[in-house]
Amino acid sequence: MDDSADRGGPGTSGALFVAVLTLLLSTGWVANHFVALMPLISNRQHLGAAALDAIFGIYALGLLPGLLIGGRVSDALGRRSVALAGSTVAVAGTIAMLLSQQSDVLLIGRFVVGLGVGLTMSSCTAWASDMRGPAGAATAGAVLTAGFAIGPFGAAVITRAGQSGVRTSFAVAAVFVVSAMATTILAGHRVKTTTPETGLAPEAAARGRQGAAWALSWAIPLAPWVFASATLGFITIPSRIHTGLSAQMAAGMATLMVNGVSGLVQVLARVRRWGPQAGTVGAILAALGYALTAATPSTMTLAFGLPLFLILGCASGLCLRAGLIDLETTAPQRIRGGLTGIFYVVTYVGFGLPLLLTTIGSPRTSAIILTVMAVLAMLTAIGRATRLRRNS
């Protein structure tokens, strides 16, 4: 199959669409399962907080160029080739960490995984959008979020098996990605495409794409609240709750709950056919989550933390879904991959929020930062609501 089949449209095989979603699911798993392994690796390798933060954060340094390059190159060379290349890179980084958990290997491995995940995320999301329009873009976001959710939980369960749990988790992640790649290749060989590579489905063409600036002006305001909400939920808040669970299980459960809610609300929004104002609701929920977190003491009860998981998960999911649909609806197909990469880059700016709050340390200053973010998220919601009403 040549890459002209990447742009399928109505004639594209449903099996290929499912295969692309499977590749996204495995990408989310391999990207995020490390969260649950961090406490165990830290204890075994005697890593300090600074070294652990560096290993966790260097993933983003690989991810950002991967997102920018992957989307743009997939516009030019085809979605499949970039998606498979990115998956191969992610597997290589994972195998390196499987073989050694020394700090220098972990740094390199996490960087390489980030690069591969960035290439795959941007190309596969655009690929799903090419094949199924707004529904494809929204489904891609939900499936990727599901991978982010179940990866850490799966790793937490695996590590309970004993000393070999860390290596087993890396092996499972690598096998999952390789299997998804094989499924995508096999499904691709069976596709008989009826839509030319640069062609748009009739309903997409009828909407009148208006260019990069117009598309980004709709999607980007929602982007910062996607992972700022998610990471506040599954990294910062669990550190304030004492549950009696092991560190890796607590991290896995928190990630599963926040990202699980994020994925479920995206599915619900599709089933219930919520309109573009769902993005407005997402920004409002983000503002509420930041405000409530700012108002709580440094230690909170589980009864208060669980509703925050729900609020922040919904905020993350609705902002992600609305942003991706905004891009699919307004971006020309020939540059959609590049714009998707830019959107994801801005979402990952929010990934730095927990590190910022930890570095500052002062509860008072952290509360001020969260309050400012709550105000900005609310302004985003007001601006989007006003613009949608004006452009209805």
Report pLDDT for 316. 96
Per residue in 236-285, pLDDT (tens digit) is 888 788 777 766 677 778 888 998 899 899 989 988 888 889 999 999 99
pTM recorded for the entire structure = 0.82
Cβ 236 vs Cβ 147: under 8 Å: no
Report pLDDT for 347. 93
**What is the residue type of 128?**
A
Asked if the model's pLDDT at residue 193 lies above 80, the reply is no
CA nearest to 115, candidates 171, 37, 60: 60
Determine the Cα–Cα distance for residues 260 and 235; give it in Å rounded to an integer.
Answer: 15
The predicted model gives 90-94 an average pLDDT of: 97
Determine the Cα–Cα distance for residues 75 and 216; give it in Å rounded to an integer.
Answer: 17
Instruction: Give 219's pLDDT tier (boundaries 50, 70, 90).
Output: very high
Tokens of 220: 């980007």
**What is the residue type of 321?**
R
Cβ 283 vs Cβ 320: under 8 Å: no
Measured in whole angstroms, the distance separating CA 251 from the mean position of its chain's CA atoms is: 17
Cβ 189 vs Cβ 42: under 8 Å: no
Cβ 293 vs Cβ 232: under 8 Å: yes
Cα dihedral 266/267/269/275 (nearest 10): 80
Per residue in 312-350, pLDDT (tens digit) is 999 999 999 999 999 988 888 888 889 989 999 999 888
Determine the Cα–Cα distance for residues 98 and 79; give it in Å rounded to an integer.
Answer: 29
Place of tokens 């652990």: 52
Tokens of 91: 């597997």
Residue partners of 292: CB distance under 8 A and separation at least 6 = 308, 311
Determine the Cα–Cα distance for residues 153 and 29; give it in Å rounded to an integer.
Answer: 10
Cβ 350 vs Cβ 316: under 8 Å: no
Tokens of 51: 């070294």
Report pLDDT for 6. 56
Instruction: Identify which has the larger pLDDT, 145 or 286.
Output: 286
Report pLDDT for 355. 78
What size, in residues, is the chain? 392
Asked if the model's pLDDT at residue 61 lies above 70, the reply is yes
Out of 2.40.110.20, 3.30.465.10, 1.10.3720.10, 1.20.1250.20, the CATH code matching 11-193+202-390 is 1.20.1250.20
Per residue in 66-80, pLDDT (tens digit) is 998 998 899 999 999
Domain chopping of the chain, boundaries: 11-193+202-390
Cβ 32 vs Cβ 263: under 8 Å: no
Asked if the model's pLDDT at residue 135 lies above 90, the reply is no
Asked if the model's pLDDT at residue 171 lies above 70, the reply is yes
Tokens of 274: 């919520």
The predicted model gives 113-119 an average pLDDT of: 96
Q: What are phi and psi of 33, to 5 degrees?
A: -65, -20
